[in-house]
Structure 1
Amino acid sequence: MNLGTFSGGIFSFCNWFYRLAYLNILWIGFTMLGAIIFGFFPASVALLSVLRQLIQKKEPVIFSTFWGYYKQEFKNSNKIGLIVGIIGCLVIINLFFLQQSPINQTQWLVYPMIMISCMYVLFICYLLASFITFEQTIPKHIKNSILIMLYNPMPSLFMIFGFAAVYYGITWIPGIGFFFSASVLGLVILSSATLAYQKIEKKQLQLSNQATNN
């Protein structure tokens, strides 16, 4: 084994370990700075934006870059948060009334509502990924996120399994969620969304080549 390659791998791992922990703490702090309700989406957008730069090996200054995205996208990200919140309230209200209704009348609705809840979470993830990746209007972000979620089951399954793995990791190792919950979930979201975008680009390229050949 090449010692230089091994030591380089160890350094890279430790560097990512530190960055993910630091970003997670920043995400918690800036979410609280916005009184949670107004801080969650700006902090999440900032987190994903910095992670995207790190994945692209741009080596940003983490704090100043995070703070810059937080300020820059505070208003627009909270607009998205408002829309997501309204949709979420409708889902919660439906689940509440489902629980209050007689079992024999609503039992067949349980699994569809669970599926809708999962799709709601996936929609939020794709929406955030779209917001930091593409420059377009909010309605277009929403439309494209729904279409990507519906027509790309494999990336969505990858996202679900990734979320489950993070959940069990946090459950089994007390305290680790403070350092590696949101940041690792951010990596899962970006990896899944990137996979979906690559599949779409590949399909578009195939269609373009077919049109050219015809």
Structure 2
Amino acid sequence: MHNINTKLYSIFNWITLVAYLNVIWILLSLSGGIVLGFFPATVSMFAIIRKWLKGDTNFPLFRTFLHYYKKEFWKSNRLGFIIGGLFLIFTLDYWYLIHYSPEVIWGQILLFALSLLFLLFIFYLFPTYVHYDLKLIALLKQAFLLMLIHPLHTFFIIVCLASLFFVFYLIPAAAFIFGGSGYAFITMWLCMNAFHKLHNTKTPS
């Protein structure tokens, strides 16, 4: 009975921490006017989850989040401008094809394929950011490379996120409570597995 109570306490404690992390992420994203707050808040959330997954749980959550937020504010926002620029290019291309060249089917197929590749790349972007200490261009290359050489991990990310979004569809309130942190936990967990496999491959036995 004691073991059951201990496990239940541990489960509810983790649920509370993940929900609290999501609230902090939302608040600090808003504090930067979303435009300047989203990327540093998201990087900070992934950094916190990485610490948890590495077994480091004994730290003040809000203070540590704020530390990462301030430390990575400008670098993460430079990354945000790059990603935002790419997103804008894709949006304008879609708009142009739909309004001026709807008959160019091959162009729509190519753009859809590139957009899908871009989405998969985003899955690896934040985990790579917090796991490696890289300059922005090297970071983009590393995230893209990891996405290419780990198709199985990418598949599992898609399946897990699809399941998570289905739960959010059934229980919309859960999306507000666990939306950002749930996404971050899944992608960080699977990406760290990919990082370890890559490290073991490079390390001679």
Retained in 1: the 8 A contact 2:97–2:104?
no
Retained in 1: the 8 A contact 2:124–2:147?
yes
Q: Give the partner amino acid of 2:159.
A: F
Retained in 1: the 8 A contact 2:53–2:189?
no
Structure 1 residue 101: Cα displacement: 4.0
Retained in 2: the 8 A contact 1:130–1:145?
yes
Task: Tell me how far apart the structure 2 counterparts of residues 65 and 24 of structure 1 sit (CA, whole Å).
Answer: 14
**How many positions carry a matched residue from both structures?**
204
Residue by residue over 1:114-164, the C-alpha shift from the partner in whole angstroms, topping out at 9 and shown as x without a partner, is: 332232122223121111111121111111111111111011111122221
What is the RMSD of the two structures over their aligned residues, measured on CA atoms? 1.6
Q: Identical aligned pairs, as a percentage? A: 26
Name the residue aligned to 1:152. Answer: 150
Structure 1 residue 198: Cα displacement: 2.1
Residue by residue over 1:22-51, the C-alpha shift from the partner in whole angstroms, topping out at 9 and shown as x without a partner, is: 111111111110000111100001111111
- Structure 1: where are the runs of 5+ without partners? 210-214
Task: Tell me how far apart the structure 2 counterparts of residues 18 and 198 of structure 1 sit (CA, whole Å).
Answer: 28
For residue 74 of structure 2, give the secondary structure of its aligned residue in structure 1. helix
Structure 1 residue 83: Cα displacement: 1.0
Equivalences for 1:157-168 in 2 at 5 Å?
A: 157-168=155-166
Q: Give the partner amino acid of 1:38.
A: L
Name the residue aligned to 2:75. Answer: 76
Task: Tell me how far apart the structure 2 counterparts of residues 100 and 112 of structure 1 sit (CA, whole Å).
Answer: 17
**Structure-2-length-normalised TM-score:** 0.92
Name the residue aligned to 1:175. Answer: 173
- Structure 2: where are the runs of 5+ without partners? none
Q: Give the partner amino acid of 1:78.
A: N
Task: Tell me how far apart the structure 2 counterparts of residues 102 and 133 of structure 1 sit (CA, whole Å).
Answer: 42
Task: Tell me how far apart the structure 2 counterparts of residues 71 and 131 of structure 1 sit (CA, whole Å).
Answer: 15
Task: Tell me how far apart the structure 2 counterparts of residues 192 and 94 of structure 1 sit (CA, whole Å).
Answer: 32
Task: Tell me how far apart the structure 2 counterparts of residues 96 and 11 of structure 1 sit (CA, whole Å).
Answer: 51
Quick check: 151-160 or 26-35, which moved more? Answer: 151-160
